Amino acid sequence: MGKRYYCDYCDKTMVASPSIVRTHNKGVVHQKLVSDHYQKYKDPKTILREESNKKPCVRFARGECQFGGICRFSHYTQEQINALKQYVAAQESTKLNADQPSFEDLYQKLQTEKTTKSQTNEGTAMYDYNGVTHVFPWVYNPVFDSFGDSLPPSLKRLQIDDFLNTTFTDWG
């Protein structure tokens, strides 16, 4: 039967020869469907910029325009363009009014959180019998403390007694 090419936009299957696929992709119906598909994902600012430069489509006003999204004239009425302008202006004003922190502010906040977190050492420090503090490079989850001794050894909180009678084995 040969290889087949399926066009998602047109919902059609055809022989996968380069000339047939190229002819299909250059067709008006395919271009219209592709344009209609991507029109759904355009933001209002882009639509306004594109449509405000076009003249109104006379055929679309009469219901006769067959080009749809690939028409070089605008299919938006003046009221729709004015509504888009108001919507874009409202979005721009909310963007300007929103106090977005700068990159430097976010970086400073992260650094202060990091230093205060490392200074607290809650759950990451262990004191031996000589009073020496040992700081672990991990943080224990306090939820595990509620399980008591029913946890596996890998999840239990380390105690200083766990290190008293350890034997070191040579590996290799």
β-bridge pairing 4-7 and 133-135 = unpaired
Same domain as 61, residue 95: yes
What's the pLDDT at 146?
A: 86
User: Which distant-in-sequence residues (6+ apart) come within 8 Å of 77 by Cβ?
Assistant: 56
Task: Give the range of the structural domain holding residue 37, as residue numbers without chain letter.
Answer: 1-41
Residue range 66-79: mean pLDDT, rounded: 86
Q: Does the residue 166 lie in any domain? A: no
Number of folded domains that form the chain: 3
Distance CA 141, CA 28 (A): 62
Q: Does the residue 59 lie in any domain? A: yes
3-state SS assignment for residue 126: strand
Same domain as 33, residue 50: no
**Which residue in this structure is represented by tokens 């106090």?**
99
Residue range 58-71: mean pLDDT, rounded: 85
Q: Does the residue 54 lie in any domain? A: yes
Last residue of one domain, picked from the residues 84, 115, 146: 115
Distance (Å) of CA 132 to CA 125, 127, 129, 160:
10, 6, 7, 11
Distance CA 36, CA 69 (A): 6
pLDDT digits (tens, 9 = 90+) for 7-60: 999 999 999 999 999 999 999 889 989 988 998 898 888 888 888 888 999 998
Question: Confidence band (pLDDT; 50, 70, 90) for 156?
Answer: confident
| Whether pLDDT at 166 is above 70 | yes
Q: Does the residue 168 lie in any domain? A: no
Same domain as 111, residue 61: yes
Q: Does the residue 133 lie in any domain? A: yes
3-state SS assignment for residue 18: helix
Q: Is the model more confident about 103 or about 83?
A: 83
Same domain as 14, residue 78: no
Q: Which of 39, 3, 1 is nearest to 21 (CA)?
A: 3
Same domain as 27, residue 51: no
Q: Does the residue 25 lie in any domain? A: yes
